Every structure is written in C-alpha cells, then in structure tokens.
Structure 1
Amino acid sequence: MLTGGRITKVKGTVVLMKKTVLDFNDFQASFLDGLQEFLGNKVTLRLISSNVTENGSKGKVGKDAHLENWITTITSLTAGESAFKVTFDYDADFGYPGAFLIKNSHPSEFYLKSLTLENVPGHGRVHYICNSWVYPAKHYSKDRIFFSNKTYLPNETPEPLLKYREEELVSLRGTGEGELKEWDRVYDYAYYNDLGVPSNDPRPVLGGTSEYPYPRRGRTGRKLTKEDPKTESRISIISNVDIYVPRDERFGHLKMSDFLAYNLKAIAKVIKPGLEAVFDDTPVEFDSFEDVLNIYKEGIDLPNKGLIDTIVNNIPLPLIKEIFKTDGQTYLKYPVPQVIKENKTAWKTDEEFAREMLAGLNPVVIQLLQEFPPKSKLESESYGNQNSKITKSHIEQSLDGLTVEEALEKERLFILDHHDTLMPYLRRINTTKTKTYATRTLLFLKDDGTLKPLVIELSLPHPNGDKFGAVSEVHTPGKGVYDSLWQLAKAYVGVNDSGNHQLISHWLQTHASVEPFVIASNRQLSVLHPVFKLLEPHFRDTMNINALARQVLINAGGIVETTIFPSKYSMEMSSLIYKNYWTFPDQALPAELKKRGMAVEDPGAPHGLRLKIQDYPYAVDGLEIWYAIESWVKDYISLYYKTDEDVQTDTELQAWWKEVREQGHGDKKSEPWWPKMQTQEELIDSCTIIIWIASALHAAVNFGQYPFAGYLPNRPTISRKFMPRENTPEFEELKKNPDKVFLKTITAQLQALLLLSVIEILSTHSSDEVYLGQRDSKEWAAEKEALDAFKKFGENVREIEKKINERNEDENLKNRTGPVKMAYTNLYPTSGGGVTNRGIPNSVSI
C-alpha cells in the first residue's frame, strides 16, 4: 500500500569516523582535515517504513537525504568521532521508520556509529545503533541497511521489515565460495587447517575428523596449498595484510588491542627471530634468582647490536617504548609482577603453591579426591596400568592425626591431576627439547582452610611401550637436598599446569569454544532478535583476537609452541582434550564445580550449592557473578518469551541452535548432552553459559597471566631436564647449587623473555574496554523494561565488587591473599586500563 500526505522535515544526527582516524599508522591524523568530503551527495540515507509497504511486501523507502553540516556542539563524542546533520523529507503517513538504507559514494570506507532522529511525528526520538564499516557502494550489490533499536521476534516483526530482515541474514551467510576480502561481511565456518606449512612445518587439520575434532573457526577462503589440498595457505608474518575476519569484528578504533596486536606481530616478526639468533650464538642462562630479578630491575642489554638496529629500524618508537619500556637505551626491561612485589621468595612456599590452585591463574582444575590411591581412566589395553603408585605411607604422617580413610570420609583430600590428560602425548612431547613428567599432586585441607601439599607423583611412559603402563616416582617435602628435589617436583607440576592453563583452560575453553557461537549468531539471529542483542556484547573482538592467535601465537613454530612445553604437539593435544572432556553443559560454573567434586547440592546453602572448601576465592566470587548473570538473563528472556512454545516456534532461534550444534561444534553434534532448546529454561541456561565463558571465565584465566606468571620460577612453562638421580654429577650439583639446577631445568632465558613480552600484552586491558554490567551504548534497546533489567544487573555487579573487597580484607580468609600478599581480584568486575589483575570485560577480546 502506498500512501501520501503532508511532508514534514525530520532532523537527525549521524555519528561516524573517517578511515584515517582508525588507521594505526595514522592514529594522530586530525579528523578536521577533509571533513567536507562527506558533504554533498557523497553519503546518501533513505528511511524505511515499518508500517507502509511498496513493491510487494517491503517497507516504503523514503527520499534521499545527505549529510549537511558538521556539528560541533555535541560533547558526548569520543576521540575521532564526528557528527553531521541530516534532514529527511517525511510523509505524515510514513509511520515508524524501522530501518534506513545508506550508500557510500565516497572513495574510501568510514565507520558509521549511529543515526538519531528527533521529533519523528507520532514517535518522537528514534535511535539506530550501527557500529559498522560502510565501504564504497561498488563493493555491495545492495545499499547497506540498519535497523532501529526496537526488538522483535521473527513472527512479531512488522511485515514491511520482514524481507529486509531475512535478506540481511542471507547476505551475512555468504555463498561459501571464494576468498573473502576486507569489505566482505560474511560469517562462515572452516577447520583449523591454517596452522602449519605442509612443505616444511606441517600440522594436522583440527576439526572435521573423529581423530582430531575441534570447534570451527571463521572461514577466510584463502587458497589451499599445492603440497596438501587440505591445508589452507598462510599469510606471511612479514606481510601487513591481516587474516580475514568480518570487518565489523575488527578491534575498535580506541581499543588498545589494536596497538597490542601490532606489538604481537612485532614480537613474531622481529624480536623472536632476533632473540633466537642472539641466544643460539651466545646461550645465556639465569644462574641465580637474582639474575631473574634483574630483568625487572635493570633489564637486559642485548649483545647483538645488529638486532638492536633491526628492532629500532622496523618498529616505530611508540612500540619500542611499549614493548621495552624504554626510549631505546635499555632493552627488554619488564615491570615487576605482582606475585613478587611484596615478597621476593614467598612464591616458593608450599602454602602459596597450593593457594594458587584455588586463587591463581588456573583455579579450574583442582578436584576432591574420591578414592585412594588415585586411579587412571585411560584405557588399560592401550596404556597398561596408569594407576597411582602413591601409598598411605607417603602421606599418612601429614594428615594432622587422621588416617587416609578418615581424611577421605571427611573430604579433606584434594588432587591436582594432570596425569591422564598428558600421558597419551608425553612420549612424543619428550622427543622434543622438553623433558617432563605427567604429574599428580595430593593436598590436605587444614583446619584453617588452607591446603597443604602432601605428595607429588611424577610419571613417564614405560620405556618398553605404552601398554606396559607408567613408570612413576613419588616425592614428599623434605630437608636439605630432598627439599631441593621437592622444589623441582613442584616446578614440574607448574609446567604441567601452565600448559593445561594456556591450551585448555584459556585457549580451548574460552577462545576456541566461543567462536562458533559468534559465527552462528551473526548468520542466524537478526540484529532485531532479543537473543542477538543479549549476546552481541559478549562476542566483541573474539574473531579478531583468534585470527591473530592463529597467525602468530598458536601456529606452527609460533609463540605458544616456542614457550609452552607440549611444543609442536600443543594444538593437537588440545584437540584430544576437546574430544574426551569438553561438554557444553559442564561449562556452567555450578555444574563444573560439582563435576570436580568441589561443590555439592545443599538446599540450605546460598543458591542451593555448598562448596567443599569454603575459602575457594575463584568459586566464591565466581558463583556470585554466575548467579547475577543468570538472574539478568532470566529477567531479559522473560520479556520476550512468555511460554516454552515461544521458544519452540522462534525460527531464527531454532536455526541458530541447530547450526551451533551441527556446524560450529559439528564434531560433537551427536552428543546427547546438548540442550534441545525447547524450553525457556534451556534458553536461559544456554545464554548464561555463553556469557559466563566469554566474560568471567576468560577473565579468571587471562588477566592474571603477567601478575602470576610474569615471574617464571613461579609458573615455569617448560622443563628441559629430568630429575637428577642419586650418584650422578647432576645430583651433586643439586646439593651444591640447587637454585642454579632449578633455573637450568625450567624455562630458558630466551623463552622466558619471549613469554614475558607476550603475556604482558595479553594481560593488558584496553582503554575503552566495556566491562560486565556495562554497555557501550545506553540506547542498545528501545524497550524500557529491557533497559531497567540491565540497570538492575549493573547494580548487582557493583554490589559484588563491594563483597569482594570485604572478603579480601578478612584476615580469616587466608586463601584470599596468601604468603605473597596478593589479593584475589581476578573476578573483580571492573578495572582501569593496563595490567591490573582485575576486571571482567564482556568478551574474549584479548
């Protein structure tokens, strides 16, 4: 139906940014230069009616409008943004302008942040959140469309907008063919077939096979290699071309991660090969702990002046200052990690060693010991007897008067078990420069709520073959040389835990597992959809950081393989963990804690869940955050889904969940544990899990990297020697200089310096980060009820911050700070910029 009526003028404001403002190499460019280039007919906008149709069922399109004058009176704009006036001829019968089309006739792209209309007849203020790159019109077959901030389920969408909604989703899915270019807005799936180079450094394809299952990554469409038609060609690190990700998934203009991403490339391109050249020619070891401390006090002046010249000539001065904390005079100087700020030696204590299993960088592995001695779940036909060789005599004298049976019954025994996850790969790993063990650590819960390490078991594959089981040795705390052996045993545990942390807790369970949800959401959920609006903030930058990781971090010969003990088997091993252990429902914090035996259902406890260790900082803080997220999701979902039938009949929602299961996590599609997405409860639970993983879980295992592991002796990542044996020269050296033997066993200086450079970057918050309980736009939804529910969530998050501060000041909670006097703040929701050891960003953004 086409109507006519009196024409009025509707004024609006367009906020955008020029490409040059966003370019790293031209970050200081003045936006004032060339503002006039957007005026005239260079940018055209047309409104679309939600009430009036034309050309069949599509909404009526209004007349052309163009950017007019630059507005200087808006004070809410951030750096680089600029606002323009725009005036639309508005038909009185046009109805609600539910969307608008925009055409860019300018020769370069710009970033469109928003359009706001004022005094729309009968509707007042109408706001459109865009946050998207708009490329020149030649790159599109249709003009770009943006919808207002109203929310609609598919079957409630006004008919004039429905085809626009459907067409936009079709365009985002692409055709599945061809190499994708920077201006493409295509979300699609691919296997991890881009990590190695078949000709000289191959790696198996992860995903698509029962042998190496894996979550999917974003498709780039790059050509396959001639050497191996299953492997995608790689971009050279030297190239300034970025791996394709949909343009709107790229880091934001103010995001310091743009700067940090450049740093990572600089490390991979210049610093890593340069350091390798230096230390290959003149190997340098840390001979004492004072040597290690000097990299924070004095820095390291690299002896190869050619390398220094190369760095200076290839990296801009701002980066030199950022990476090296210098103007170019002293190289490789690092800030003091928080774990040694108050006390330089407290990290060595058994109490701190155990405390970090509850309040450290990887607090998601420790379990309640269910049986003694611990038993392996590895298949005996392939791996023989892998059960523990720990006996009662090893631990009974350290149980504060209890027998082993009594300690088990009273639930006072715990285990950090890296045996079964590592043993299948250990023989191959130890053919590299790594020399390490699969470890089991037993701990006792003392009356004061702290844990005491009792025993460490170090295991190797049997020399005659896997089927003959494990060869194990058992270490307990001792004095003299036996204390030195105990310190080494703890170091091997640290090596295992560091690898598990980086490859499993961090990379697999947050970065890799979230990416399929990002892709599926953009392919199947319209921006008008309530679930898209709920989840979208928790997907910010994830595809970009993952693409960067595949280029310089987890690739063959990359930083992870260079600095983490599984070496070339790192990603392959993470595939085995995904295959044998990853389930979606178990990513829920309450379920995960119960699975590890760290919590049990109890109607009398808060939220019906009682912790086995009351002073378990990660779990205590985490559960408060979990239930705050769950409450927010429940409040929000109930606004749009009144019955289970609403969930079942939502075509976009059902397509989304089907695609997550069958494509995004396609190697797990037949697993019976997937929610069926037939009820409100299943939708609420699933969304809560996704938000938890992307925000709090990632924060818990990421932003403490430099504060905890920036001092490598506390969390070594590689072991290069096996335990010294009695009656050998190595054992005699251990007696004379245990510190030197310890440092020669753990991460070498080259790997240490590389790792510090990287984890400082990965532990850094950007200056424009958006934290849990916050949104980057106050008008993200038009519905007041949704905004009110989110306001309540934000208030709950702020209340949690107060409770965390109170707990950290409670001297009775000894696991909150420990011997190192380092308060547990990894789940403190907000933070300033930089390395702060706190803050929960909404998404896996670095």
Structure 2
Amino acid sequence: MGIFPPCSSSEMLEKLLGTVCGKIRDSPQIEKRKIKGTVVLRKKNFMGMTDVGASFLDRVYEIFRKGVSLQLISATHADPENGSRGKLGKEAYLESWGSKFTSLSANEDATFNITFDWDESMGVPGAFLIKNHHPSQFYLKLVTLEDVPGIGQLQFVCNSWVYPAYRYKYDRVFFAYKTYLPCNTPEPLRAYREDELINLRGDGSGMLKEWDRVYDYALYNDLGSPEEGRPVLGGSQEFPYPRRGRTGRRPNKKDPKIETRLLLLNLNIYVPRDERFSQVKFSEFICSSFNSLGQVLIPEIGAVFNKTINEFDNLQDIHKLYKEENNLPDSRPLRNTRECLPWESFKELLHVSGGRPFKFPKPDIIKNDETAWKTDEEFGREMIAGVNPVIIRRLEEFPPASKLDPKVYGNQNSSMTKEQIEKNMNGLTVEEAIAGNKLFILDYHDVLIPYLRKINKTKYTRTYASRTVLLLQDNGTLKPLAIELSREQDDVNVYDPISQVFTPSEHGIENSKWQLAKAYVAVNDSGYHQLISHWLNTHAAIEPFVIATNRQLSVLHPIYKLLQPHFRDTMNINALARHTLINAGGILETTVFPARYSMEMSAVIYKNWNFTEQALPEDLLKRGVAVKDPNHRHGLRLLIEDYPFAVDGLEIWSAIKDWVTDFCSIHYETDDMIQGDSELQSWWTELREEGHGDLKDRPWWPKMQTKDDLIQTCTIIIWVASALHAAVNFGQYPYAGFLPNRPAVSRRFMPDTQEHAELEKDFHLFFLKTITAQFQTLLGVALIEILSQHSTEEIYLGQRDTSEWPKDEEKEAFARFSTKLVTIENDITERNKDQGLRNRNGPVKMPYTLLYPNTSDDSKKGGLTGSGIPNSITI
C-alpha cells in the first residue's frame, strides 16, 4: 500500500460525492435499478481473420454458462471487509454472445449489451473487474454505461487484450476514463491503482508468456550466441546501453550471461500483449516483407548466370531493378486485412507488368532526374534535407582538430590546408568565412578512427574516416570544398593516420576521385545514420521510457495519458529488430560498413548520449548551426536559413511544447505538486537509475522538481518518438532506395597510381566495384523499403485513436495542437513552392516532406509516402 500526500485540488469534489452518496445510502429506502451498457471488443483472430475455431469453442462455453462477466467497483463507497477497497457490485454477463454473428474480418468490432444491478449503496462506479471464462482471448476496446445516477454516461476506454481468467494470478481491472494524480485518487480506488502497477512490474523471474503483462528490463544480451563473439551491451562502462524489455528466456548453456535466441522464422518474441502489432499491421508487415524480399530473390538467381557474379556491370543494371512509373502500383501494404494474408502475398510476388516481375518502386531521388544525385549541390543539400540531417555542424577552427587522445591514437588533427579550400571559396578567405559563420563540416573522423582498424580487417570492408568541409553560399546552398579521407597505418605500432585530401574537379582522374571521395563520405553517413541517428537515438533510447511509464505511472495518471500514444508498437518493432536486424550476422551487419562491430560501436558512442540534447533547440545550438536570438521565432536564429529539417522541425517542436505546456498546466498548478507526485518521482528515478542506468550519474538529467522540468522532459520524449524518428526513418527509401546515392559499404580503397588505367577506362564500373556489392545492395534496398512504409493503421501526430478526453480543457488544448499542425502543413507546402529556397527541392526536384505531419484523411493510405509523422516509433 503506497502513501499518498495530501492534496488540495479535486479531493474536495470526491469528498462531496462521497457525502452525497453516503446520505443516499443511509436513507431508509434503498433504490434499486438497472444500469445498461455496451461492450465493444474484437474476437481472437488468426492471419487476418476471426479465429473460427476459437469462436466456436467460446459459444460452447456460453452454453455451460461460462461467459464474460464484469463487476462494477465503487469509487465512493469502500468495503471494510475487503481492505477498504471500493465496494463490488454483482457480476453481470455479456448478452447474446452465442447467438450474435460477428464478421470474419480481424479489424471488425463486435458490440454486446450488458445490464448491471445497481443500488444506492454502490455509490458512483469508478472501475470494473472483468473475468473471461472463455477458452480464447479477445481485445476489449470500450465499455460505456448509460444513465449512471448522478453522472449520466460513463466510459471506460480499455484497449487491452483480455485472456482467459485462469491465465492470470489476479483480477483484471479497468478504470473509468478519468484522470487523477495519486493524491487525488478516490480512496476506494487507491489499492486497485497500486495493485495494477505491481502486477505490471512482475517479480523479475521466469520466462514470460504472451498473456503476461509484465514490463521489465534486461541487457542487450540476446544479439548472438557465445561462439559469435558479440559482447553484452549494457551493464558495463565499456559497453553501456539503454535497457530493453525482458523476455525471461533461459540462459545459453555455454555462457549464462547470454540469453538463448529463437529460431529465425519464429517471430513470437515476448513483448507485453498490448504492445504487439495489431493483426492488420502484422499482416501488412508480413506482406510487404514478402514483396521486398522477393525483389531480392530474382536478380540474385539471374546473377548466377552473369559473367560478373554479385556485381552490377553498369548503372543501367541498377536502374533495371525499378519498375517504370505507371506500370505497377507503388509497393505498399494492401488496403485491407484479407488482401494482406500471407497466401495472398504470393500473388503480389508473382505480379507481372510488361514482362518485368519483382520490381522495386522507383525512389524519389531518381524520379525526376536520373543524374542529379551526382551533383555537388545535392551532396551538400542532403546534409540538411536528407535522411540524416542531424550531424552537420559549424566549423569554428581550421584546420579541424581531433579530440582523440594523441597518446593513444597519435596525431589525428586534419591535414587540410587553406590553399586546398580557398580556391573554391568564391573569393573569401578561411578567416572571413569562419568569422561570417559560413564554414560547416560533416565529421565522422573521431567516431570511426578507434574502430577503423578492426572494421577494415573484416572480409568485405575497406573504408575511411571522413571529414567534409562546406561553404555556405549567398544563395543558401552548401558548396563542398574538400573531403579528407583517413585510415590506419599498415604498421600496427604507428598511430598517425594515412590521410588524403580531395577537392572538387570537373575533369579526368581528379574528377573521378572526387566522385569516389563523396561515395566514401556517403558510406560513413549511411552507417552512422542507421546505427546511431536512427536505431540508437530513437528506437533504443525510447524503449526504457515505454517500460518505465507502464511500471510506474497508472493509466489514471495524466502523464501516462499524455505519453502513452507515443509508445505504440515500439517494443514490438524493437524486438523484431533484435531478432533479425541488429543481431549477430543479421541484416544490418550484412549491409552497413562496420559489419560485426556495428552494435559494439554504437554502445561506445552511447557514452556521449545526452537526454537534454535530444531537444531540437539544444541540438541545433550544440552543433553551432543556430545561435540564441530573442528577436527570432523560437528564440533561435538559424545560421543556415534554408535548413529544411531545422525550419520545419522547430515549428513541430514548438507545437509539441505548446501542447505539453497546456496539458501539464491543467494538472499541475505549482512546482510543489510535481515534487509531491509519488508516481511521477518514481517514474523519473527508475528511468535514470534503471532504464538508462549506465548513464545515471550524468549531471545533465533534469531534476524533475519543477513544471518546466516536466514540460521539457515530455516534449523531448514526444519529439524523439514522433518527429525525430519520422525525419530519420521515412526518407530512407526515397533517398537511399537508389543505393549509388547512399552506398552503405565500400570494398576497396581509393585507387593508387597503378589502378588509374582501370579508373579511366570505365569510371562507373570502378565505382560499382568500390561500393556495395549486388546482394548487399538488393538486401539493403529491400530492408529500407520495408522500414520506410507507413501502415494503413498509422496514427499521426495530432490524431488519436479515441475522440474522448477525461477533461474538456484537455480536449480543447489538443484541438489547438491539431490546428497548429494543419497550419504547419500548409506552411511546408508553401515553402516547398518557393523557388528561392533551393534546399527545399534541390537539383533532384524532390520536395522536403519528412516533417509534413499528414493530418488529413488521406493519411490512411499507407505505403511509401515519404511524408507523415506517426505518433510513435512503429516501424
């Protein structure tokens, strides 16, 4: 039993309700009546259809009076004989289960009537217990009571799977759709509130089953078996990491620190049932995976009979992978559940148009111009409007200096000279450009050098650590000035790197080497994007917040209601990623340059992760691409005015923060209420000490003592889970679906003098033999096609899965938020039309839409839209 501090706000209302109901209860005549209600649910399903066998058994159980029962719990009248918990009403059963026909479609709801006996001694209901005596589970969506005395209509928004009662060691409880801080909770409901959180935490032991509802933490010890030689991530200073959801699978016999892995095709990885994909989304996911992997299979079979096995002979071979516009529909999830059944997916795989089966959709980067991706302007533009626009920073000293310890790594400072870059600086000197905030850098040198020797010893990778210096021109575009490529010495006892500097050239060998240098930079950017910007900083970083929120914040807590929509499907997609994507030998190791060191390297980089710097304004200031300026919108002035990610992002950030401020102000009048909120304080303590426990002693964590702390924290969480993830995920296929634009692996070093003849003879063939091989290309393109697709069930920022709110003020604040997002959409559309903003479309004529919220009804079409901000990390 927890201790709730005294509260001064809505407690008086509860006392008043209790007094009124008490007087009614003490009157000599106790009125009895019926309360009618409706229950909306979805029956158990299988492969996109209602499970007919389970439905039949449920009907049989109904014959023997083993149905689904509900018991109302009073919010105002306690039962002294039951630990002062709310008084329980009589059991009532769902009516007409056996006789009611329900649709075979998995996404169709069934509505049942229910009638409760009620008398004044029950007072006001505030929760109910449910017992499912059927042999199969169902998804409980909504319970609505009509004509509740003194209230009228009362709703319970449930959205949870209910398994047969014998699967639980406790009663399932659902609360009325209201919001209470812990101290405001009606006394008869407090024990139920506390017990529910205890149940969700579990006892920390045993293998978890699908009906368990346990949210618990574990290390990343499930990525490989001992013989695969991957370290456990998390729990050490050497390899710190955010925590993942615990599954409780048994330890590996050879190494008890390692968790056993499931077979590759077994996708039944434990996550709490309510965190799993819906049947519709899972069917779409399987369907799109079949389609994409089928597009890998046929070219690979054809390559067996090719004179250059696992190689593209020219760029046209890559263009042949894509279907022509208007020949085939976009590769996107099918429109309804039945069409996404796995057996229907094979029809998709065999779909032929114009004699060309198994074609990828044409990526946006080559839709309007097949060669513009090669230009220097597009190369620079994608650093601020591409799929990884969060790395570029202002250059404040020249030549660029390294922060690596010279005693360990030697002299890692840049070898660039002023003479090399000033010839392309439009008449400016380096000093003038630095003073005018016109020099910028994309720098992967220091993060890669410590691992580069190991990486280059793997079978397929030969790459560099890169630095790229760019000039901000008067027309707003970024002009690449020089690229420095560094690699380790062949002698392991020599630490100073081998560095080469390349500058733009239009002709001959120097032009070819410049194009290759840009490709090596793209390799660095692609790998870092996938491992850090995408996986680590969104997927992995958010999972502890999902777990802690469910363990420490009751569904009645306002902050739970604020954050919960932004956690949908995240644990499920992360579990699938650990199973097939980021695991030892998984797709990511196969398709990005760090190979077997991918996850280990991400753990080392996590040492520098900083929660407060995930806020967009703080990130822009840290990278020096913005400065504080109270006279500018958002209090910041962008040094690159036409920076599409930052411009659109600040609008989204501001809208989120305004919404969070409005919401938190409804529930917290003073800072004392923040400090006295027992659940909120436990939540924040657990996040720091367990969820991100390897960084718990860092001084930058908010103290959670003021309303400003809470607002900033919740804004960061929502920003990362929605807008930041959208910006770094859904542009993957539009930009990188044509892999020459963003190769993820390089297989040979820059050509030496002896290879110049080969380079002069056929640059494109040399280029293709340098970057990702055919199989890895096809696999990588298939992967990002899957990851870039929106589900038809996507819920976007500014949308909700219910129109109800516990308080009118919340509803009004959310309506303001949604309206702001519509305005932002219109503004983005207008900016993309502005020909003076050259970075909005670039030479490829590809408008920047990755932060377009997509609040219209058209958002439900799903697929490769290249726009839209889902509420959560759903893919």
What TM-score comes out, normalization by structure 2 length? 0.90
1:79-98 mapped onto 2 (5 Å cutoff): 79-98=107-126
Q: Does 1:666 align with 2:689?
A: no
Deviations 1:763-818 (A, max 9, x none): 00000110001110111x32111111111111111111010001001111000000
Moved more, 281-290 or 179-188: 281-290
Q: CA deviation at 1:137?
A: 0.8
Q: Does 1:632 align with 2:632?
A: no
Partners in 1 of 2:702 and 2:304 — Cα distance? 53
State which of 416, 440, 456 in structure 2 corresponds to 1:390: 416
Q: CA deviation at 1:261?
A: 4.8
Q: CA deviation at 1:599?
A: 0.6
Residues 525 and 656 in structure 1, CA contact (< 8 A), matched pair in contact too = yes
Deviations 1:22-66 (A, max 9, x none): x22647979997885685541001111100111232001111111
Q: Which residue of 1 aligns with 2:605?
A: 577
Change (3 A) 1:646 1:65: same
Residues 456 and 475 in structure 1, CA contact (< 8 A), matched pair in contact too = yes
Q: Does 1:795 align with 2:824?
A: no
Q: Does 1:24 align with 2:51?
A: no
State which of 793, 798, 801 in structure 2 corresponds to 1:776: 801
1:570-719 mapped onto 2 (5 Å cutoff): 570-579=598-607, 581-719=608-746
Deviations 1:689-744 (A, max 9, x none): 00000000000000011111000000000101111111x1x321110100001111
1:198-597 mapped onto 2 (5 Å cutoff): 198-199=226-227, 201-239=228-266, 242-255=268-281, 257-261=282-286, 264=289, 283-297=309-323, 316-322=342-348, 326=352, 331-432=357-458, 433-465=460-492, 468-478=495-505, 479-579=507-607, 581-597=608-624
Partners in 2 of 1:357 and 1:398 — Cα distance? 19
Q: Which residue of 2 aligns with 1:102?
A: 130
Change (3 A) 1:755 1:325: farther
Aligned length: 820
Q: CA deviation at 1:78?
A: 9.3
Q: CA deviation at 1:18?
A: 1.1
Change (3 A) 1:284 1:49: same
State which of 134, 141, 161 in structure 1 corresponds to 2:169: 141
State which of 824, 830, 833 in structure 1 corresponds to 2:848: 824
Residues 44 and 136 in structure 2, CA contact (< 8 A), matched pair in contact too = yes
Partners in 1 of 2:34 and 2:551 — Cα distance? 36
Q: CA deviation at 1:278?
A: 8.1
Q: CA deviation at 1:9?
A: 1.1
Which blocks of at least 5 consecutive residues in structure 2 are unaligned?
Answer: 1-21, 326-340
Change (3 A) 1:536 1:316: closer
Q: Which residue of 2 aligns with 1:844?
A: 873
1:37-116 mapped onto 2 (5 Å cutoff): 40-54=65-79, 55-69=82-96, 79-116=107-144
Partners in 2 of 1:549 and 1:426 — Cα distance? 25
Change (3 A) 1:38 1:361: farther
Residues 224 and 233 in structure 1, CA contact (< 8 A), matched pair in contact too = yes
Residues 321 and 328 in structure 1, CA contact (< 8 A), matched pair in contact too = no
Q: Output the amino acid matched with 2:867.
A: R
Change (3 A) 1:545 1:290: same
SS for the counterpart of 1:835 is: coil
SS for the counterpart of 1:777 is: coil
Q: Output the amino acid matched with 1:556.
A: A
Partners in 2 of 1:739 and 1:589 — Cα distance? 39
Change (3 A) 1:43 1:202: same
Partners in 2 of 1:158 and 1:456 — Cα distance? 65
Residues 264 and 552 in structure 1, CA contact (< 8 A), matched pair in contact too = no
Deviations 1:92-139 (A, max 9, x none): 342221111100000011111111111111101111111111111111
Q: Does 1:5 align with 2:30?
A: yes
Which blocks of at least 5 consecutive residues in structure 1 are unaligned?
Answer: 300-314
State which of 784, 789, 804 in structure 2 corresponds to 1:759: 784
Partners in 1 of 2:349 and 2:683 — Cα distance? 42
Q: Output the amino acid matched with 1:95.
A: G
Partners in 2 of 1:278 and 1:569 — Cα distance? 32
Residues 759 and 766 in structure 2, CA contact (< 8 A), matched pair in contact too = yes
Residues 24 and 259 in structure 1, CA contact (< 8 A), matched pair in contact too = no
Change (3 A) 1:570 1:419: same
Q: Does 1:814 align with 2:864?
A: no
Partners in 2 of 1:224 and 1:696 — Cα distance? 37
Deviations 1:398-431 (A, max 9, x none): 1111111001100111000011111111110111
Q: CA deviation at 1:333?
A: 1.4
Change (3 A) 1:639 1:841: same
SS for the counterpart of 2:279 is: coil
Residues 510 and 693 in structure 1, CA contact (< 8 A), matched pair in contact too = yes
Change (3 A) 1:819 1:298: closer
Q: CA deviation at 1:317?
A: 4.0
Change (3 A) 1:197 1:78: closer
SS for the counterpart of 2:280 is: coil
Q: CA deviation at 1:330?
A: 5.4
| Pairwise CA RMSD | 2.5
Q: Output the amino acid matched with 2:863.
A: G
Q: CA deviation at 1:500?
A: 0.7
Partners in 2 of 1:280 and 1:376 — Cα distance? 46
Q: Output the amino acid matched with 1:24.
A: M
Change (3 A) 1:375 1:126: same
Partners in 2 of 1:73 and 1:605 — Cα distance? 61
Amino-acid identity (%): 58
Residues 49 and 99 in structure 1, CA contact (< 8 A), matched pair in contact too = yes
SS for the counterpart of 1:88 is: strand
Deviations 1:189-245 (A, max 9, x none): 00000001113x231000000000000000000011111111000001133x51100
SS for the counterpart of 1:765 is: coil
Q: CA deviation at 1:663?
A: 0.2
Q: Which residue of 1 aligns with 2:12?
A: none
Partners in 1 of 2:593 and 2:726 — Cα distance? 23
Q: Output the amino acid matched with 1:387.
A: N
